[in-house]
Amino acid sequence: MLKMLLLAYLALLLTMLPACLPHILPAAETTPTQTESAERPLPAPAGTRAAQTVLLRLPDGGVCEMDMQEYLIGVVAAEMPAAFEPQALRAQAVAARTYALYCGEAHKHGTAQVCTDPGCCQAYSADSALRTNWGAAYETNLARIRAAVEATDGEYLSYGGAPVFAAFHSSSAGATEDCGAVWNARPYLISVPSPETAEQVPNYQSSVRCWRLDFRDTLLRAHPECDFSGEAEGWIGETERDGSGRVAAVTLGGVRVRGTELRQLFALRSTAFTLSYAGGIFTFNVTGFGHGVGMSQYGANTLAAAGWDYRAILAHYYPGTTLVAARQE
Ligand SMILES: [Zn+2]
């Protein structure tokens, strides 16, 4: 029954998203089933070639030139569980390659292209760390991830002829976030439905509890103009939600505080939360994990388990982009 509901939901998603499919599925615009037998990606414009190396800034500040495939194996291994579906791992490999190429064009780190900080660029695990972390599963896990990277060799997402800002996150609360709610808006990073639920995602629901005075002091440090002179029951004002259902802002002590700032101040796992007060304690009940922009990793895994291939997954989470297959020379 649950599986039928999921399949019905996925079919509904596909009917809602005709505009995002033609870019990689030129012959598959009419029925959902065709999206699972997608054509190969479009060839890149003549002369285009994906970078074979990446300039990686190491935690000690040094810069290392690495083979792109070896770098991507370390990124996918660090960013996504190896046990995820093969098509989800492929989608992650393409997103990671795209992001590295995007950073190279953005000159984000001077002489280096990307760093290993997941809060800045994307995580990366060296082979020695993977051997330690995976133990007896090392060979099996590495083979799964290497297969995903090699199967998508050279492929990246393009918009307007350039690699896109391929943001991704762990899990969403029903829909992804519009990029404009977190960073600068991008036409290919808009809110789209995402099917993962608490059944697929560990710690999908979480909560943060904060004593009344700690709550007050944390906000006053950031916003001294807040007025907390009355009873705590009256401190929470209007909650504004954006199109994805996440918190755009909450009025607290008469001051409008953005959801992204509250996430940071109170270490919330996402901005998909409710805030309540009782018995001297403020409670944030939070759904999902991450900024919510771009591909949801658990959403990608859920779609892959339902039969979507990585091209359809990428087209869903990055609508309007083109999957480019660049030549390797
Ligand atoms: Zn970085």
The rounded distance, in Å, linking the Cα atoms of 148 and 46 is 25
Contact 48, 327 (CB under 8 A): yes
pTM confidence score:
0.84
Residue count (the chain): 329
Pair 235, 213: CB distance under 8 Å: no
Token pair in block for residue 230: 């009355």
Average pLDDT over residues 11-15: 41
* CA 105 to ligand 1 centroid distance, Å: 13
Q: 293 C-alpha vs ligand 1 centroid, how far in Å?
A: 17
* Residue predicted with more confidence, 105 or 244: 244
In terms of Cα–Cα distance, which of 51, 2, 88 is closest to 299? 88
Q: How many helices (H) does the chain have, and how many strands (E)?
A: 9, 15
Measured CA to CA, the distance from residue 177 to residue 192 in angstroms comes to 8
The mean of the pLDDT values for the chain is: 87
pLDDT at residue 253, rounded to an integer: 97
Question: Which H/E stretch holds residue 218?
Answer: helix 212-222
C-alpha of residue 31 to centroid of ligand 1, in Å = 40
pLDDT digits (tens, 9 = 90+) for 115-129: 999 889 999 999 999
Neighbours of 142 (CB within 10 A): 17
Structure tokens at 290: 């991450």
Q: How far, in Å, is the centroid of ligand 1 from the Cα of 255?
A: 33
**Is pLDDT above 90 for 327?**
no
Q: Is the confidence at residue 15, as pLDDT, over 70?
A: no
Instruction: Say how many CA atoms lie within 13 Å of 82 toward its Cβ.
Output: 19
How much distance in Å is there from the Cα of 112 to the middle of ligand 1? Answer: 9
| C-alpha 7 to ligand 1 mean position (Å) | 38
Residue by residue, DSSP assigns 51-103 as -SEEEEE-TTS-EEEEEHHHHHHHHHHHHS-TTS-HHHHHHHHHHHHHHHHHH
Query: At 36, is the secondary structure helix, strand, or coil?
Result: helix
Q: Residue 94 has what pLDDT?
A: 98
pLDDT at 235 over 70: yes
Residue type for position 53: T
Q: Which token pair is 327? A: 């030549």
Strand bridging mode 63-67 / 273-278: unpaired
State in Å: Cα 180 to ligand 1 middle. 20
Among the listed residues 87, 112, 101, 118, the one whose alpha carbon sits nearest the alpha carbon of residue 154: 101
> Where does the pLDDT of residue 107 fall: very low under 50, low under 70, confident under 90, or very high at 90 and above?
confident
Provide mean pLDDT across the span 8-22: 37
> What phi and psi values does residue 24 have, to the nearest 5 degrees?
-115, -5
Find the helix packing angle between 297-305 and 310-317, rounded to 10°: 140
Q: How far is the CA of 59 from the centre of ligand 1 (A)?
A: 10
Per-residue pLDDT for 104 more than 90? no
pLDDT of residue 13: 43
pLDDT, tens only, 256-279: 999 999 999 999 999 999 999 999
The residue among 164, 169, 155 whose CA lies nearest residue 188 is 164
Report the range of poorest mean pLDDT among 33-37, 138-142, 182-186, 285-289.
33-37
Using the predicted structure, report yes or no on whether residue 165 has a pLDDT greater than 50: yes
